[in-house]
Amino acid sequence: MGCICCICEVCFAAMKTLVLGIGNTLLSDEGVGIHVLHALAAESPLPDDVELLDGGTLSFTLAGPIEEADALIVVDAANIKSEPGTWKLFEGEAMDAFLLGNRKSTVHEVGLTDLRAIAILAGHWPERRAMLAIQPEVVDWGEFPTSAVASAIPPVCAAIRQLIEVWRHDA
């Protein structure tokens, strides 16, 4: 049994967290998941057991890293039926329901749903999981997000850091 003081290293047991950014950075707002990863990497360092992974436009090669993670955070552009730049956090079963119920909300969700199925079949779909979905404005040729979507990047980064901290304290 671990320490009960909540101030020592034992209380913050290593939990491998994968932050998976999804998107195509050649399609303006569609690449927001990758832009969030770059912003996180440029800020103060994350804990050593947090991995930032550019998932691009998804492939089955991501099944391994997802299965190896104790916790998973996915960041992607998605149609959440809101104003451009609005973001929403789907955590745990709410993430699963969003993925399964809105298969056409992003160009990637069929792939992410498939990766979820692979992880479940392998016996490891992280119990701690979340998706931060950001409403795009423009999905067309362009290397940078629109100003509305770019303004969502700092609060999404803060939400990711807060989620990691909460999960570390609950571990």
Q: Fill in the DSSP letter of residue 57.
A: T
104-141 b/e with 16+ CB inside 10 Å = b? ebbbbbebbeebbebbeeeeebbebbbbbbbbbbebee
Q: How far is CA 57 from the centre of its chain?
A: 13
Q: Which of 50-54, 71-75, 99-103 has the lowest mean pLDDT?
A: 99-103
Q: What is the mean pLDDT of residues 129-146?
A: 97
Q: What is the pTM of this model?
A: 0.89
pLDDT digits (tens, 9 = 90+) for 97-132: 998 887 655 545 447 888 898 899 999 999 999 999
pLDDT digits (tens, 9 = 90+) for 1-28: 344 444 444 444 579 999 999 999 999 9
Average pLDDT, the chain: 89
Q: How far is CA 109 from the centre of its chain?
A: 13
Residue 11 vs residues 46, 137, 168: alpha-carbon distances, Å = 17, 42, 8
9 burial level (CB within 10 Å; 0-12, 13-18, 19+): exposed
CA distance 142 to 104: 22
Place of tokens 């990637």: 108
CA distance 18 to 66: 7
Helix, strand or coil, per DSSP, at residue 129: strand
